[in-house]
């Protein structure tokens, strides 16, 4: 479904991604784990068209999308849920969700997806008129994911959904990520929380200072001494 081949991405002189290659097959949950500043967000921004790779190709369903405008990429089904749950604080929960559908014209489909989001996140249904800025951190993360779902993703890019949340909320969010995947959406999950990410992923990549240094099945990485020492707290 997605093939990233040898991309280099720069911010001015800063070489943030160095020859990164990875692939995501339809139906998978793939996770990219790495420390702060490793380049995870940069990769997602490049996939969703916010940054242009200087070299290399990005193929989505065999079409080259590297450097193409972000709006077209969303229309084709690649939807990015950014880090830090960027919800519109002064708009209601429901208005935020409706914004996720702003490129769609299929009213019936939009209504159906809105109901599905409320089923998946009953707390959002209870708070549909509440201003998004007054939600708890976990609720805002749920809203950010719900808004992503309203764009009808085929490939959902999730940037650190566990960030700053209590373990029980992280658990809930990861269960929902699995449900979304089981319902047919392919997922690329970027995480610092390697333990949780590897527990739900099929395959994984490890990124360090802009380079992919390891890859394999999630199980192989969970058992790797290098991953245990660096990302799983030595357990
Ligand atoms: P984090 O979890 O902290 O967000 P990350 O793995 O997502 O980390 P990136 O945000 O992709 O890391 O950053 C990769 C590198 O690019 C870092 O060295 C960072 O300082 C640099 N970088 C990111 N954004 C910019 C920017 N707008 N201008 C210049 N350098 C940037």
Confidence (pTM): 0.93
Which pLDDT tens digit goes with each residue over 135-181? 999 999 999 999 999 999 999 999 999 998 989 999 999 999 999 99
Residue 174 lies in a domain: yes
Residue 213 lies in a domain: no
Residue 126 lies in a domain: yes
Dist. CA 161–CA 181, nearest whole Å: 15
Residue 64 lies in a domain: no
CA dihedral of 196, 34, 4, 199, whole degrees rounded to 10: -10
Dist. CA 153–CA 12, nearest whole Å: 31
* H or E stretch at 2: strand 2-11
Which pLDDT tens digit goes with each residue over 78-126? 999 998 778 999 999 999 999 999 888 899 999 999 999 999 999 999 9
Residue 107 lies in a domain: yes
129-to-90, 107, 134, 223, 234 alpha-carbon distances in Å = 11, 20, 11, 46, 45
Residue written as token pair 């240094």: 213
Dist. CA 25–CA 20, nearest whole Å: 17
Domain limits for position 37: 28-49+69-201+218-231
Distance 172 CA to ligand 1 centre (A): 28
80: CATH: 3.40.50.300
- Ligand 1 pocket, mutate which of 7, 32, 41, 206 (most atoms under 8 A from CB): 41
Atom of ligand 1 at shortest distance to CA of 43? 11
- Ligand 1 pocket, mutate which of 17, 35, 42 (most atoms under 8 A from CB): 42
Residue of 220, 210, 193, 109 whose CA lies nearest to 177? 193
Atom of ligand 1 at shortest distance to CA of 160? 2
Atom of ligand 1 at shortest distance to CA of 163? 2
State ipTM: 0.92
Residue 108 lies in a domain: yes
Residue 6 lies in a domain: no
| Chain length of the chain | 235
Number of domains present in the structure of the chain: 1
Residue 37 lies in a domain: yes
């Amino acid at each position: 479904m997605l093939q990233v081949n040898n991309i280099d991405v720069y911010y001015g002189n800063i070489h943030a991604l160095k020859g990164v290659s990875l692939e995501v097959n339809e139906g998978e949950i793939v996770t990219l784990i790495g420390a702060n500043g490793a380049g995870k967000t940069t990769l997602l921004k490049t996939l969703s068209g916010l940054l242009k790779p200087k070299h290399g190709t990005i193929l989505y369903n065999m079409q080259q999308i590297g450097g193409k405008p972000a709006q077209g990429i969303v229309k084709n089904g690649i939807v990015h849920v950014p880090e830090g749950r960027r919800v519109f604080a002064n708009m209601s929960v429901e208005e935020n969700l409706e914004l996720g559908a702003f490129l769609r014209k299929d009213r019936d489909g939009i209504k159906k997806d809105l109901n599905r989001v409320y089923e998946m996140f009953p707390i959002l249904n209870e708070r549909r008129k509440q201003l998004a800025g007054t939600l708890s951190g976990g609720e805002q993360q749920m809203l950010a994911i719900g808004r992503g779902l309203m764009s009808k993703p085929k490939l959902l890019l999730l940037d650190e959904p566990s960030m700053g949340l209590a373990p029980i909320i992280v658990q809930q969010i990861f269960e929902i990520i699995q449900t979304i995947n089981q319902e047919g959406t392919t997922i690329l999950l970027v995480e610092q929380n390697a333990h949780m990410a590897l527990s739900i992923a099929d395959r994984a990549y490890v990124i360090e200072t802009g380079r992919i240094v390891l890859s394999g099945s999630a199980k192989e990485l969970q058992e790797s001494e290098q991953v245990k020492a660096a990302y799983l707290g030595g357990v």
